[in-house]
């Protein structure tokens, strides 16, 4: 006999199936409504992202407005102005002997939109040897040279802090807080500048340099017309003169003939006679500069008569620089009257290169207590020295003659 559900049982089974189908349908509909609501909220809150997704799915072309280029140009201009001011401030901090460890950035620079940025905030610690007035003048001078302005400068009387707001084009780019630490020592170094005068056309530059209040050593070419009168005019102040002694030149000119140059081809007596005549033409010379200046080592036999004649007169010889990494070190003086120079300022006749070389020489003088640099008597060297000497003195450089370095 086959089992068969009763009518009531079959009705209950059918009701349960309908109920499960209804639950499933409601769940699908609820999920769909939830997804649609979530999608609608995403589109409402993140319209740009939704548009980007739709454009990507449909591969739609996107128009580029010209205003984007204008905003980019303004952004680049603002960035360039900020970098220029930052570089100028770095130079001012270098003159104030501010090392990277004494600079702390308390608030970084952040974009605000429309090519605007929040100003960067930094705390600077300087040696107690510098006054806040010196700091203010040096920073303001550096900023003004590149077209920036000091919008606000305040000094707190109790804490002794200097607060500066620096900007460009009416927008503040830097906020600086400068404090003095009496425990920080200020480094010092002595720098001797030697000006080589070998051409009569350079007389005007020499006259202007001789008017400097800071001491300079002038290397004059012997046997030139009126060289003794020029030496008398120069030594009237704090300057000194030395002889520009030709030793084994690569080429010979009217000013430097072969018969008046110390050469390996000459006999020792001939070289001695040349040195004696050169020193006799400039009685006020305190020493001699080997000419031409370059990293070329000479035979000891060539320099022997030169050193003997200078030694008899208690004069020094400025010799060619050694390796660039070690020139200007304390062992540059051999104790026998021979002093190596740091290098040549105007090896490339460009005021920017001359200024960079002068900066490098000053840092070497601070590290090694002294340095000697050479430059030709030309307008660019005059211009750089006029503009940079005061800043280098603030950095801790004392300008002296070569004799001062030799005597001490």
The CATH number assigned to the domain holding 102 equals: 3.30.460.10
Q: Over the stretch 337-377, which tens digit does the pLDDT of each residue have?
A: 788 899 899 888 899 999 999 999 999 999 999 999 999 99
Provide the CATH number for the domain around residue 199.
3.20.20.370
Same domain, yes or no, for 219 and 149?
A: no
Residues 174 and 202 in one domain: no
Q: How confident is the model at residue 217 (pLDDT cuts 50, 70, 90)?
A: very high
pLDDT tens track for 64-98? 655 444 556 777 788 888 899 999 999 999 999 99
Segment 222-229 shows an average pLDDT of: 84
Q: Using an 8 Å Cβ cutoff, are 371 and 365 in contact? A: yes
Please tell me which of 241-255, 256-270, 273-287 the model is most confident about, judged by mean pLDDT: 273-287
pLDDT tens sequence across 96-141: 999 888 999 999 998 887 777 889 999 999 999 999 999 999 999 9
Q: Are residues 151 and 228 in the same domain?
A: no
244 and 363 together in one domain? yes
Residue 40 lies in a domain: no
**pLDDT given for residue 356 in this prediction:** 92
* One domain for residues 194 and 276: yes
Same domain, 173 and 310: no
Average pLDDT value over all residues in the chain: 85
pLDDT, average across residues 24-39: 88
Domain for residue 211, yes or no? Answer: yes
205 located within any domain: yes
Q: What is the pLDDT of residue 129?
A: 93
* CA–CA distance, 389 with 368 (Å, rounded to integer): 19
Pairing, β 370-376 against β 116-117: unpaired
Q: Are residues 235 and 114 in the same domain?
A: no
Count of other CB atoms within 10 angstroms of residue 162 = 22
**Reported pTM:** 0.72
Are both 222 and 358 inside the same structural domain?
yes
Tokens describing residue 219: 């290397």
Please report which confidence band the pLDDT of residue 219 belongs to, taking 50, 70 and 90 as the band edges. very high
pLDDT exceeds cutoff 50 at 159: yes
Do both 166 and 194 map to the same domain? Answer: no
Q: What confidence score (pLDDT) does residue 265 get?
A: 85
Structural domain count of the chain: 2
Sequence-distant (≥ 6) Cβ neighbours of residue 164 within 8 angstroms: 136, 139, 150, 152, 153, 174, 175, 176, 177, 178
Of 130, 153, 181, at which residue does a domain stop? Answer: 181
What pLDDT score was predicted for residue 57? 78
Domain stop point among 136, 152, 181: 181
* 134 and 228 belong to one structural domain: no
Cα–Cα distance, 240 to 194 (Å, whole number): 10
- Whole domain around residue 177: which residue ranges? 70-181
Last-in-domain residue among 132, 155, 181: 181
């Amino acid at each position: 006999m086959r089992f068969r559900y009763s009518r009531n049982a079959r009705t209950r089974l059918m009701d349960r199936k309908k109920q499960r189908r209804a639950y499933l349908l409601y769940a699908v509909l609820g999920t769909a409504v939830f997804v649609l609501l979530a999608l609608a909220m995403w589109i409402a809150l993140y319209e740009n992202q939704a548009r980007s997704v739709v454009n990507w799915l449909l591969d739609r072309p996107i128009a580029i407005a010209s205003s984007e280029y204008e905003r980019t140009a303004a952004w680049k201009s603002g960035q360039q102005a900020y970098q220029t001011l930052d570089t100028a401030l770095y130079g001012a901090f270098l003159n104030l002997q501010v090392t990277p460890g004494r600079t702390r950035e308390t608030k970084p620079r952040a974009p605000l939109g429309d090519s605007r940025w929040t100003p960067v905030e930094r705390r600077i610690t300087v040696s107690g040897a510098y006054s806040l007035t010196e700091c203010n003048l040096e920073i303001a001078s550096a900023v003004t040279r590149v077209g920036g302005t000091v919008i606000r400068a305040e000094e707190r009387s109790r804490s002794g802090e200097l607060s500066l707001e620096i900007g460009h084009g009416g927008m503040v780019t830097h906020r600086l807080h400068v404090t003095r630490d009496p425990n920080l020592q200020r480094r010092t170094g002595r720098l001797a500048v030697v000006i080589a005068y070998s051409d009569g056309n350079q007389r005007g530059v020499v006259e202007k340099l001789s008017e400097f209040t800071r001491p300079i050593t002038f290397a004059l070419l012997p046997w030139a017309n009126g060289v003794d009168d020029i030496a008398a005019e120069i030594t009237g102040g704090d300057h000194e003169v030395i002889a520009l002694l030709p030793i084994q030149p690569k080429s010979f000119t009217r000013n430097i003939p072969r018969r008046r140059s110390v050469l390996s081809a000459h006999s020792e007596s001939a070289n001695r006679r040349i040195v004696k005549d050169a020193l006799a033409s400039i009685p006020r010379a305190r020493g001699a500069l080997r000419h031409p200046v370059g990293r070329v080592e000479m035979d000891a036999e060539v320099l022997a008569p030169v050193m003997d004649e200078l030694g008899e007169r208690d004069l020094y010889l400025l010799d060619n620089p050694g390796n660039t990494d070690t020139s200007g070190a304390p062992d540059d003086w051999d104790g026998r009257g021979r002093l190596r120079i740091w290098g040549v300022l105007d090896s490339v006749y460009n005021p920017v290169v001359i200024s960079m070389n002068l900066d490098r020489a000053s840092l070497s003088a601070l590290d090694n207590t002294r340095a000697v640099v050479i430059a030709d008597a030309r307008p660019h060297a005059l211009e750089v020295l006029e503009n940079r000497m005061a800043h280098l003195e603030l950095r801790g450089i004392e300008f002296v003659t070569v004799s001062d370095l030799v005597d001490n």
